[in-house]
Structure 1
Amino acid sequence: MAPDTSPKPQAGGAVIASGSLGRIAAVPWKNEGGQTRELCVEPPEADFSSFAWRASVADVGRDGVFSTFAGIDRTIVLLEGGGFTMHADGAQIHDLRECFVPFSFSGESDVSVRLHGAPTLDFNLMVRRDLASGEVVALSEQNSRRLPADTVLLYVAQGAACLSDVSGMQRQLRSGEFVRLREGAVLPDLLCAAGAMVLAIRIRRQT
């Protein structure tokens, strides 16, 4: 994860890292069929075989196949572009056409995609199911005040937002920026500007 080193106030100590998509270098997918930029991985520095959960943003520029990940639950969210149909075992399983609507599927599935036209930008969450469960919640001006329980990461997909807490500390966020929140901390409030969309990533550890 590439941290944003510029000095910014912390929202009640809940924010433990931050960054911007534009400052993260793109790397090939596991199967080299596309490019991805890793926002956060837990534990830090974990590889594909050892992460508990991982959040990233991927570029899909052509028809092709997704990498497979045994034991992983996946969620994908269209951020930009025309979207694509997803196929597995010879049948269509989803039409990823509408932005900011999460779709979950199994990492073991042999998924192929066919673009509707323009290349896409997609948010991806991967969670190792024997360690945790995860969810992506899309928040807008209408439903953003109180963050969902167990939120550990926020990604501003569109527009601008602000984190604030009861002490009066605030943190401004713009499109493409993200913050890592301390697990178990008192969560700050999130205020979304008109037209903004923020993805809240919830992680619940297995007991």
Structure 2
Amino acid sequence: MTITYLPAAGYETLPWKNGEGFTDEICLRPDGACREDFALRISSAPILESGVFSAFPGAERVITLIEGSALDLRFAKHTHRLLPFRPYFFDTGLAPVGTPDGGPVRVVNVMAARAAWKIAGADLLSGPALCDAGENGLIVLFAVSGEWHLRKADGTLELAPRDSALLEGAQPVPVEGAGQMLAVQMQREG
């Protein structure tokens, strides 16, 4: 089991790919990847007003509203109302128009290139859990609120609000805490 700690203090704030907002870049993989060519991308962004999402063809996205009341995602053929803490999956090449309802919102995005990863699920943890990424898996953890502790062989890793961690490999990791923690399960393709 490998645990990669991604503290909020290390996130880089960058303009959106389309220039219409700003995002906190949490993680790009593999090493040397960029927003045009990645296997995995994790970010968090405020959405202050209605605007078009950046397109990332060839990737799937799970988006989770972590602050604010609602975000309407208008696609060419339908609209999805994103409510707090209800992860939503979509083809991120579709680039919907996002319109916050009731004021600014903040979201967490996990994007995976289809050739490299399959997003297998997303859950919101509110208490202790046992996380196991599996032999060819990865779990993205994002601490929304509260204090969280990941128990590992050589001690404890603490996650404060907005900190993240990546769990890789087939060994259960006890996750303890209270608050809300987003857990996105990934499976390696090929």
So what's the TM-score if we normalise by structure 2? 0.88
Q: Which deviates further from its counterpart, 197-206 or 58-67? A: 197-206
Question: Which string of whole-angstrom CA distances, capped at 9 and with x for unpartnered residues, describes residues 16-69 of structure 1?
Answer: x32332442311111011111111111023012321111110111110110111
Q: Against the structure 1 CA distance between its residues 206 and 23, is the aligned structure 2 distance closer, same or farther, given a 3 Å change threshold?
A: closer
Q: Equivalences for 1:8-157 in 2 at 5 Å?
A: 14-15=2-3, 17-89=4-76, 91-92=78-79, 94-97=80-83, 99-134=84-119, 135-141=121-127, 144-149=128-133, 150-157=137-144
Match for residue 205 of structure 1? 188
How many residue pairs match? The answer is: 186
CA distance in 2, matches of 1:96, 1:179: 24
SS of corresponding position for 1:26 = strand
Q: Equivalences for 1:177-196 in 2 at 5 Å?
A: 177-181=163-167, 183-193=168-178, 196=179
Contact 2:116 2:189 in 1 (8 A): yes
Pairwise CA distance, 1:168: 7.2
Q: Which runs of 5+ in 1 are unaligned?
A: 1-12
Overall identity of the aligned pairs, in %: 27
SS of corresponding position for 1:108 = helix
Contact 1:58 1:121 in 2 (8 A): yes
Contact 1:84 1:114 in 2 (8 A): yes
Pairwise CA distance, 1:133: 0.5
Q: Against the structure 1 CA distance between its residues 206 and 67, is the aligned structure 2 distance closer, same or farther, given a 3 Å change threshold?
A: same
Larger Rg: 1
Contact 1:151 1:200 in 2 (8 A): no
Pairwise CA distance, 1:104: 0.5
Q: Which deviates further from its counterpart, 63-72 or 131-140? A: 131-140
Contact 2:132 2:173 in 1 (8 A): no
Code of the residue aligned with 2:34 in structure 1: it is: D
Q: Is 2:157 aligned against 1:171?
A: yes
Question: Which string of whole-angstrom CA distances, capped at 9 and with x for unpartnered residues, describes residues 132-176 of structure 1?
Answer: 1023322111xx4211433433110111111114x4722222111
What's the RMSD between the two structures over aligned residues? 1.9
So what's the TM-score if we normalise by structure 1? 0.82
CA distance in 1, matches of 2:27, 2:55: 19
Question: Which string of whole-angstrom CA distances, capped at 9 and with x for unpartnered residues, describes residues 70-106 of structure 1?
Answer: 11111100011132111111531x1112x22100011
